[in-house]
Amino acid sequence: MNLDVILFALFAIGAVASAVFTITRRNPVAAAMSLIGHFFMLAGLYLTLHAQFVAVVQVLVYAGAIMVLVVFVIMLLNLGNEQQLTERISMRTTIGTLVAALFAMQVVTGLLARPTGVNTQHADAAMIGATAGIGNALFTTYIFPFEAVSILLLAALIGAVILAKRHLHEGI
Amino acid sequence: MLQSIPLDWYLILSAVLFVIGVIGVITRRNAIIIFMSLELMLNAVNLTMVAFSAFLGDVAGQIFVFFVMAVAAAEAAVGLAIVLALFRKKQTVYVDEVNLMKW
């Protein structure tokens, strides 16, 4: 067993387990905590792919900013446990879950039957995953999307303030 | 060097994580947990893009992950504001108790 196989297995099993934990907990805080664990596992997987920048941003943005927001809202709303996970096992939910599981099986069996044949990482993987490589591409080729994203974030900021404001025409 | 894991393993893992997210969205009632399942799905796609980026030697995949994270942050802010507004109006975050737009 190589070190990389052990690391991949550790992070992959951790990621799947924490994802399942997230969607099965009744308590929203427990779900949020396991989702934070999931983000850390994904950061580890990004490191095995030589994507250092993405791994660090994953922890900063997802595990830091977004999950703080989620936990803050859970606290603000004072949510308890869900009485039941689902109101009742409805036909629609069952069929939807089955279709989703079928999709997963199809993808997995398809990939196992006909592998992509790409078995080793590119020689430049470590170089492009570093901050220098990302920054060079981001501020030259992708400068317009970068600026567009900043406008999107501004719009989201204003939208969030407007939506969460207390009295908006006494309506919604 | 960590180079002996084939690309397919990452793709399979990503598909499994995506479907876990889909199942969460379909089966849960709590809007905040549905929201967290959406984040699971976004992250599964991010993993695919980073894997392709590293295996094919193209930086575009990781740039896209950066943009997906920015969009996810925007979505988090607006989505949670909607949940707050919903809670003020209906005193609930369970999506099956909200039928304002149901005919």
Distance of residue A168 Cα from the nearest chain B Cα, in angstroms: 10
> B25 vs chain A: nearest CA distance in angstroms?
8
Residue B75 maps to a domain: yes
- Count CB pairs under 8 A between chains A and B: 247
Note the pLDDT of residue B5. 83
How far is Cα B9 from Cα A129, in angstroms, rounded to an integer? Answer: 20
More confident: A1 or A77: A77
- Arithmetic mean of pLDDT, A37-64: 92
Considering A119-133, B33-47, B82-96, the range whose residues carry the highest mean pLDDT is B33-47
CATH number at residue B56: 1.10.287.3510
The pLDDT confidence band at residue B94, using thresholds 50, 70 and 90, is confident
Q: Per-residue pLDDT for B52 more than 70?
A: yes
The verdict on a CB contact (< 8 Å) between A111 and B12 is yes
Instruction: Provide the residue range defining the domain that includes B40.
Output: 7-92
Domain count across chain B: 1
Whole-angstrom Cα distance, residue A134 to residue A125? 11
Nearest 5°: the CA angle B49, A1, A51 is 25
Q: CATH for A1-85?
A: 1.20.120.1200
The domain segmentation of chain A, as residue ranges, is: 1-85
Tokens for A10, please give them: 């550790």
Number of helical H runs and strand E runs in chain A: 8, 0
Phi, psi (degrees; rounded to nearest 5) at A167: -115, 110
Enter the DSSP assignment of B94.
B
Check whether B93 has a pLDDT greater than 80.
yes
Under a CB-based contact definition with an 8 Å cutoff, are residues A49 and B59 in contact? Answer: no
| Ordered DSSP codes for A30-79 | HHHHHHHHHHHHHHHHHHHTT-HHHHHHIIIIIIIIIHHHHHHHHHHHT-
The amino acid present at A79, given as its one-letter code, is L
In a domain, B100, yes or no: no
CB contacts, 8 Å: B69 with chain A? 57-58, 61-62
Contacts of A112 in chain B (CB under 8 A): 8, 12
In a domain, B68, yes or no: yes
Residue B37 tokens read as 């399942």
Residue A166 predicted with pLDDT over 60: yes
Q: What is the mean pLDDT of chain A?
A: 85
pLDDT tier at A89, thresholds 50, 70, 90: low
pLDDT tens column, A35-48:
999 999 999 999 99
> What pLDDT sits at residue A9?
92
Length of chain A measured in residues: 172
The pLDDT of residue A172: 47
pLDDT 10s digits, A107-157: 888 888 887 777 778 777 777 888 888 898 899 999 999 999 999 999 999
Q: Is the dihedral of CA B50, B51, B53, B57 positive or negative?
A: positive
**Could you say which of B22, B59, B82 has the minimum Cβ distance to residue A163?**
B82
pLDDT on residue A145: 93
Placement of tokens 């025409």 in the chain: A169
List, as ranges, residues 62-101 from A with C-beta within 8 Å of B. 62, 65-66, 69-70, 73-74, 76-77, 79, 82, 85-87, 93, 96-97, 100-101
pLDDT number for residue A101:
87
pLDDT of residue B101: 75
pLDDT of the residue at B49: 94
Asked whether residue B66 is domain-assigned, the answer is yes
Tell me what the mean pLDDT of segment B58-69 comes to. Answer: 92
pLDDT of residue A88: 60
